[in-house]
Amino acid sequence: MADTKTIVAFATAAILANGEYKESEKDAISSIAETLNINEKEMFDAIDSEIEKQEAMSDEDLNAYLIEMAKGLDENDMIEVFQICLSVTLADGILSKNETIILLTLADILNIDVVYATMMIAYSVNNATDLVVEIELDNIGGDK
Q: What is the pLDDT of residues 4-14, one digit of tens each?
A: 999 999 999 99
In the chain, where the domains are located:
4-133
Q: What is the pLDDT of residues 74-99, one digit of tens each?
A: 999 999 999 999 999 999 999 999 99
Average pLDDT over residues 55-62: 96
Of the two residues 12 and 129, the one the predictor is more confident about is 12
4-133 CATH fold: TerB-like (1.10.3680)
CB 65 within 8 A of CB 23: no
CA torsion, points 45, 95, 123, 87, in degrees to nearest 10? 10
Q: What is the average pLDDT value for the chain, to the nearest integer?
A: 93
Q: What is the pLDDT of residue 134?
A: 86
